[in-house]
Amino acid sequence: MHLQLVQQLAQYPVTVVHSLSKRTVEVRIRAVNKGLTVDAILCQPNNRQADFVLCCGDDHSDEYMFSAAIARARAPLPALGGGSGETKGAAPSRRTFNVTVGRKPSRATLYVEDTRQVLFFLGALTQHAITGTLGQM
């Protein structure tokens, strides 16, 4: 399947990625990565008031996302009305949590062992959002 997709899509600006360990084949647009997407989302004016940013991923392509989230967290939020924004060197504008699945070298500062722990964490986060308490962790 991988080779067939490579041949069929050779004329398009895409990359075909085959992961034997995950048993997946991905078709990605060459000019787009998760980092660019995160940056675009965090730059939108309606996302200025986000309480925090959570990025979670399990492979090397997620490193672009982690790097973008870190850079955007350190950048001052743009001022409303197109002004100059906060002063240079200010504290991070957003609380950002980067989580990688499995222990490995990563730009993420946190890790969980497996996808079950991701689901447990997201459940606890949901409980906190609904009830205001984190309960037993």
* Banded pLDDT at 26 (limits 50, 70, 90): confident
pLDDT value at residue 114? 94
Q: Are 104 and 123 within 8 A, CB to CB?
A: no
pLDDT 10s digits, 75-91: 766 555 554 444 343 34
DSSP 9: T
pLDDT value at residue 79? 57
What's the whole-number mean pLDDT along residues 29-36? 88
Place of tokens 């990025």: 55
* Banded pLDDT at 18 (limits 50, 70, 90): confident
Q: CA–CA separation, 91 vs 136, rounded Å?
A: 31
> What's the predicted TM-score (pTM) here?
0.70
Q: Helices (DSSP H) in the chain: which residue ranges?
A: 2-8, 34-43, 62-74, 115-131
Kindly list the distances between the CA atom of residue 101 and the CA atoms of 56, 66, 87, in Å, as whole numbers in the listed order.
Answer: 7, 13, 35
pLDDT higher than 50, residue 125: yes
